[in-house]
Chains A and B, each alone.
Chain A
Amino acid sequence: MNRFLEVVRRDLRLALRQGSDSVMVVTFFVLTVVLFPFGIGPEVNVLERVSAGVLMVTALLASMLSLDRLFQADYEDGSLELLVLTPAPLGVVVAAKMLAHWLTTGLPLMIAAPVLAVLLHMHEDGFLTLLAAMALGTPVLSLVGGIGAALVLGARRGGVLLSLLILPLYVPVLIFGVGAIDAAVQGMSAKPHLLILSAMLAAALVLAPWASAAALRQALE
C-alpha cells in the first residue's frame, strides 16, 4: 500500500512539475465543446438536445489525448524496467499510475463538464446525473485506456494505433453515460444506466491493471 501511494505521489509530482498534460486535456475539452455552438448554430433546443452527447464524446477524446504518455516517458528513460522490478506486484504499480492519470485528467474534466453544460443549455435536471456519469465513466476511460497504452508501447505512431484500439472499447461508456443524462432530463430514472456504468468500473478496476501489467511485461521483452 505504501508503494502504491509512493507511485501515485511521484506521478502527481511529475504531472504538476511538467504541468502541460492536464492543462492541455482540459483546454482541448473546453475549446472543442465551444466549437459546437458555432458549428450547429445557437438555437437553444438543438444545443440542449445534443449537449449530453457532445460533452461525453469530447471528454472521451480529451482523456485519450494524454494516454500515450502514461507509460511512454517511463519506457523511454528506463524507469519502466525498474518499476517492473520493484518488489510490489506490477498490477499494483500500474493501478497507481492509472489512478494518477485519472486524478490529472479525468478529475479536471469532471469539474469542467458542468460549466460547459451551462454553455450548451443542458436542462438543469441533467446536471447531477452528468457529474455522476462523469465520475463513473472517466475512471473507466483511464483504466481501459491504460491497457491500450501498454499494448502500443514501443510501436511507431503509437498515438494513432492507440485511438484505433481504444475508441471502440469506449463505446459502452458513451452509450450509458449519455443514456443516463437523457433519462434524467426526460424525467425518468437514471439509475439503471448509472448502475451499468458502476458495473463497468468495478470490472475495469479488477481486470485493467492486471491486463495492462501483462502487456507491459511483453513490451519489455
Chain B
Amino acid sequence: MVRAMSDSTFSAKDLACVRGGRVVFAGLGFSLATGGALVLLGPNGSGKSSLLRVLAGLLKPAHGLLAWDGRPIAEDPEAHAARTHYLGHHDAVKPVLSVAENLRFWAHLHDPHAERAGRAVDAALARFGLARLATIPGKMLSAGQKRRTNLARLLAAPSPLWLLDEPTTALDKASIRVLEDVLAEHRAGGGMVVLSTHADINMPGAAELHLDRFSVREELP
C-alpha cells in the first residue's frame, strides 16, 4: 500500500506517568521522524503499556508534553486519534460478528469513505492470511487468528502512527514474518511505529528505549 505522507515528527518531552500513586517513569523523552521506529524494552511493570496508552491519548501524562509537528496533541485529541492506530492487550473481536464484519466496522469508523475502506479491508485480510476465514464468526477463531484480525485493522484504514503493545503475542513464526514485512512497508511509506515487545522483532534501524532507565527510585526518609 503506497500512500503519500508528508514529513512529520512525533515527540515527547519530559514525560512522567503515575499509576496507583506510584511513579512508573519520569523524565522520558524521544523524537520520531517520518519512517522512524521505536522499540520499548524493559522488565514487566516498567511502564511499556502505560507509555503506549499515554502516547495513544488514553492516559493523561502526569507531567510533560507530547507533540505532533510541534503542536501539543492535547489541543486536538480527535486529530490525534485519526492519525493513530493503537493495538492493546485485548483483540476487540466481537464473537458474533464475522472476521470481515469486525474489520469493516473499524475501517469505516476510521475512514468514512465506504468503498475505499471496503477495498482496504479485503487487502488487509489477504495480507494476514485471513481471506479464507472472512465469513467465520469471531468466536470460532483461535488466539493467534484473533490477533491477526486485530493486526489487519492496521492496514484496513491508513494511519501514520502505529502504537503496538506486544503485537507478537500468540502469533506463529510465519505471521511474525508477515508482521515484520508490514512494519517495514509502513515505515518505507512514511509511517511511524512504536512497539513494546519481549520477543525478537526484526526492525532494521529502530531506536530502542529502555524504560527501566526512567524509573524513579523511591527514597525512604
Q: Do A and B bind each other?
A: yes
- The closest CB in chain A to the CB of B91 belongs to A78
Whole-angstrom distance from the CB of B30 to the nearest CB of chain A?
A: 21
- Chain A residues 1 to 15 lying within 8 A of chain B, measured CB to CB, are 2-3, 6-7, 10, 13-14
The answer to whether B81 touches A85, judged by C-beta atoms less than 8 angstroms apart, is yes
Q: Which of A6, A77, A86 contacts B81 (CB 8 A)?
A: A86
Q: Which of A13, A76, A83, A84 contacts B97 (CB 8 A)?
A: A13
- CB-CB under 8 A from B90, the residues of chain A are 76-79, 81
Main secondary structure of the interface of A (DSSP, over half): helix
Cα separation A3 to B90 with both chains bound (whole Å): 22
- CB-CB under 8 A from A220, the residues of chain B are 58
- CB-CB under 8 A from A221, the residues of chain B are 58-60
Cα separation A87 to B90 with both chains bound (whole Å): 20
- Chain B residues 105 to 149 lying within 8 A of chain A, measured CB to CB, are 105-106, 108-110, 112, 114
The answer to whether A14 touches B97, judged by C-beta atoms less than 8 angstroms apart, is yes
- The closest CB in chain B to the CB of A9 belongs to B105
- Chain B residues 73 to 95 lying within 8 A of chain A, measured CB to CB, are 78-79, 81-82, 84, 86, 88-94
- CB-CB under 8 A from B94, the residues of chain A are 14, 77, 79
- The closest CB in chain B to the CB of A84 belongs to B58
- The closest CB in chain A to the CB of B57 belongs to A85
The answer to whether A6 touches B57, judged by C-beta atoms less than 8 angstroms apart, is no
- The closest CB in chain A to the CB of B159 belongs to A87
- Count residues of A near B (Cβ-Cβ below 8 Å): 24
The answer to whether A85 touches B93, judged by C-beta atoms less than 8 angstroms apart, is no
Q: Given the known A-B contacts A77-B91, A220-B58, A221-B60, are A86 and B96 also in contact in the complex, defined by CB atoms under 8 Å?
A: no
- The answer to whether A88 has its CB under 8 Å from any CB of chain B is yes
The answer to whether B110 touches A86, judged by C-beta atoms less than 8 angstroms apart, is yes
Whole-angstrom distance from the CB of A77 to the nearest CB of chain B?
A: 6
Q: Which of B58, B92, B109, B114 contacts A7 (CB 8 A)?
A: B109
- The answer to whether B37 has its CB under 8 Å from any CB of chain A is no
- The answer to whether A157 has its CB under 8 Å from any CB of chain B is no
- CB-CB under 8 A from B110, the residues of chain A are 86-87
Cα separation A18 to B95 with both chains bound (whole Å): 10
Cα separation A79 to B88 with both chains bound (whole Å): 10
The answer to whether B109 touches A86, judged by C-beta atoms less than 8 angstroms apart, is yes
- The answer to whether A17 has its CB under 8 Å from any CB of chain B is yes
Q: Given the known A-B contacts A2-B112, A14-B97, are A85 and B58 also in contact in the complex, defined by CB atoms under 8 Å?
A: yes
Whole-angstrom distance from the CB of A40 to the nearest CB of chain B?
A: 41
The answer to whether B92 touches A88, judged by C-beta atoms less than 8 angstroms apart, is no
- CB-CB under 8 A from B108, the residues of chain A are 2-3, 6
Closest 5 CB pairs of A and B: A78-B90, A87-B82, A17-B96, A2-B112, A78-B92
Give chain A's interface residues, CB within 8 Å of chain B: 2-3, 6-7, 10, 13-14, 17-18, 76-79, 81-89, 220-221
Give chain B's interface residues, CB within 8 Å of chain A: 56-60, 78-79, 81-82, 84, 86, 88-94, 96-97, 101, 105-106, 108-110, 112, 114
Q: List 28 A-B contacts (CB under 8 A).
A: A2-B112, A2-B114, A3-B108, A3-B112, A6-B105, A6-B109, A6-B112, A10-B105, A13-B101, A17-B97, A18-B96, A77-B94, A78-B88, A78-B92, A79-B90, A81-B92, A84-B58, A85-B56, A85-B57, A85-B81, A85-B84, A85-B86, A86-B110, A87-B78, A87-B79, A87-B82, A89-B78, A220-B58
Known contacts A2-B112, A77-B93, A87-B109; 8 further A-B pairs (Cβ under 8 A):
A6-B108, A10-B105, A17-B97, A81-B90, A85-B57, A85-B81, A87-B110, A221-B60
